[in-house]
Amino acid sequence: MPGRGTSSSPRAADWTGAVQAWTAALGATQVATEGAPIERLNENVSALTRRVPAVLWPRSTEEVQRVVQLANLHHTPLYPVSCGMNWGLGSSLPVCDETAVVDLRRMNRIHAVDVPHHFADIEPGVTQGQLYDYLQDRQLPLRLNVTGSGRDSSLIGNALERGIGYFATRAGSLSGLEVVLGDGTLVRTGFAHLATSTITHQYPAGIGPDISGLFAQSNFGIVTRAGFSLMPAEGEALSIVAKIADDTRLVPFVEALIGLRRRGVVQTIWHLGNRGRTEIALAPLVADQLRQAQAAATPAALREQARTWIAQERFGAWNAVGGIFGSPALLRHIRREIKAALRGIADVMFLNDRTLAVGERLLNALPSWPLVRRKRLMLQAMKPLYRMAQGIPTDAALKSVYWPVGQDTRQPIRDVDPGYSGMLYVLPFFPLTGEVAREVVELATTTLGAAGFTAYITLNFIDTQVAEAVVNCAFDRRNPEQTAAAHRAINALTDAYIARGYPPYRLGIQQMDKLVNGDDPFWRTVLALKQTLDPHHIIAPGRYCPR
């Protein structure tokens, strides 16, 4: 394997010996080398392919250690995934061909939940739906910082990628990591390496150098357990929806939202979506409601009516949503502040359980006029998305991947990889100002538009300083020309953002060379760390590290 920092020639991988050894160590049901498990990896929403010799499903840290030790013995590289739902960025596929996938979804134990200190001690296969259900079943007063990626997405996996939750970034949500290094050594970060520690997850830094950050977006080891921070479920929840009618108001709209965050009025993330994003998120849910009411309607008719109803509801060119918590008195104050800040700029609506229940009762009591019927069904369609503002994970948003190219959304969707819908993402960070936000949007719309694609855009205001843009284009994977064009367009947009100084904070497996440069002293330092922690370059070759 090139790039090991040594002058000796790499030894050839012994896949036959490795598979035999893994099968003996794990059992035949935990190792696959052909058939559906392998084929399934290359059926992904990014339309990428890799040659994968084996898939392994360890069930414990000890089994992961054994897998890594045997991989070192047989010189066979490994690519760990938590649940493999890195959609739009490669899903479960490794960066390089001839790399075995280590799927950690069977390591799904919730070891403990600490209510007073707001954390869960979990394994990488624990999903946000699983942990939410655990909290609900035990009536624990804790809330999840959810993402829209579905109930079955891994909490640890997303946090290690520094994912963005509904309320805050997940970059700092992990503590006390348990990691299998590239030579099979088990290391615990922070105070976790002290057997008597009682404050591992309350003070993540521990004593001495804090090495936890080395294992985020890196290929130094496999994280097998960690603490995951939660939020206290205190106060009432309030959802905010603000919208502007046209793009000319985007800059003052963004500046007003920034001001609310800087003054501490709203301390959670604003999510600002363009018209395209709003439509693909909401339209399939509206179509579901229409389908239940009009079983005989054709799919084409339902799609058209869903689009019409969304237009009639006057969703804006840009729609901002946010969720906040607090006492009734605090929420009344926040409502007044938000209304004052957005007066003359945007229309504002506030939702909570009480207002939704009142609206539902009122609409159900009225005659079934067309307007009332539309309002009633729209309210039902919006409920799953509204519940994310309460920390409730949902699969409802996954239908937005299928909607643009017309793939069937009638059934519940838990995994967007099957089928023919394609979706690619670019995720730039940029300094948070109205003018820069406008520039980020214009780059996306012009670059993707020139290639014949719609730019679906969400701007997430991480804090008062920086924002993330989630930009994606949809394509039909059955069409090779369209698929190739989508990849070219996303690559061009990524290059444009990097050139302007707005680099992506995550990369797809096909884009690592966009920012990973072996001539850069930073990446040479990363490579030196790799050589120390994984001397035979077993773990995820090519992932955020020179080869």
Amino acid type, 178: E
CATH domain 110-232 topology:
3.30.465
Q: Where are the alpha helices (DSSP H) in 92-211?
A: 128-137, 155-160
What distance in Å separates the CA atoms of residue 330 and residue 328, rounded to the nearest whole number? 6
List every span in the chain annotated with CATH 3.30.43.10.
15-105+520-533
Residues 216, 172: contact at Cβ < 8 Å?
A: no
- pLDDT at position 49 is 97
| pTM score | 0.94
- pLDDT at position 13 is 94
- pLDDT at position 8 is 38
Residues 100, 14: contact at Cβ < 8 Å?
A: no
What distance in Å separates the CA atoms of residue 37 and residue 406, rounded to the nearest whole number? 27
- pLDDT at position 10 is 63
Give the SS3 label for residue 101: strand
**CATH number 3.30.43.10 given to 15-105+520-533:** yes
Q: Indicate if the alpha-carbon torsion angle 311, 313, 316, 322 is positive or negative.
A: negative
Output DSSP code: residue 240: E
Residues 110, 135: contact at Cβ < 8 Å?
A: no
Burial 71-80 (b: 16+ CB within 10 A, else e): bbebbbbbbb
Strand partners, 110: 122
Q: Indicate if the alpha-carbon torsion angle 511, 514, 516, 522 is positive or negative.
A: negative
- pLDDT at position 213 is 95
- pLDDT at position 46 is 97
CATH domain 236-405 topology:
Vanillyl-alcohol Oxidase; Chain A, domain 3 (3.40.462)
Give the SS3 label for residue 295: coil
For the chain, give the number of residues: 547
Two structure tokens written together for 490: 């996303």
Q: Alpha carbon of 447 to those of 366, 436, 452, 467, 485: distances in Å?
A: 48, 16, 9, 20, 12
As to burial, measured by CB atoms within 10 angstroms (0-12 exposed, 13-18 middle, 19+ buried), residue 15 is: middle
Residues 178, 197: contact at Cβ < 8 Å?
A: no
Q: CB-side exposure of 102: number of CA atoms within 13 Å?
A: 30
Query: Which H helix or E strand runs over 326?
Result: strand 318-326
What distance in Å separates the CA atoms of residue 538 and residue 534, rounded to the nearest whole number? 7
Give the SS3 label for residue 425: strand
Residues 54, 15: contact at Cβ < 8 Å?
A: yes
Can you give the pLDDT of all 547 residues of the chain as single tens digits?
333 333 334 679 999 999 999 999 999 999 999 999 999 999 999 999 999 999 999 999 999 999 999 999 999 999 999 999 999 999 999 999 999 999 999 999 999 999 999 999 999 999 999 999 999 999 999 999 999 899 999 999 999 999 999 999 999 999 999 999 999 999 999 999 999 999 999 999 999 999 999 999 999 999 999 999 999 998 888 999 999 999 999 999 999 999 999 999 998 999 999 999 999 999 999 999 998 888 668 888 999 999 999 988 888 899 999 988 899 999 999 999 999 999 999 999 998 888 888 888 888 888 778 888 888 888 889 888 888 888 999 999 999 999 999 999 988 999 999 999 999 999 999 999 999 999 999 999 999 999 999 999 999 999 999 999 999 999 999 999 999 999 999 999 999 999 999 999 999 999 999 999 989 999 999 999 999 999 999 999 999 999 8
Q: What does the longest C-alpha to C-alpha distance in the chain come to?
A: 81
CB count within 10 Å of CB 258 equals: 20
**CATH number 1.10.3720.10 given to 421-514:** no
Residues 6+ apart with CB under 8 A from 311: none
As to burial, measured by CB atoms within 10 angstroms (0-12 exposed, 13-18 middle, 19+ buried), residue 209 is: exposed
Residues 6+ apart with CB under 8 A from 419: 402, 407, 477
List every span in the chain annotated with CATH 3.40.462.10.
236-405, 421-514
What distance in Å separates the CA atoms of residue 335 and residue 357, rounded to the nearest whole number? 19
- pLDDT at position 371 is 85
- pLDDT at position 9 is 44
Burial 119-149 (b: 16+ CB within 10 A, else e): bbbbbbbbbbbbbbebbeeeeeebbbbbbbb
Strand partners, 240: 322, 350
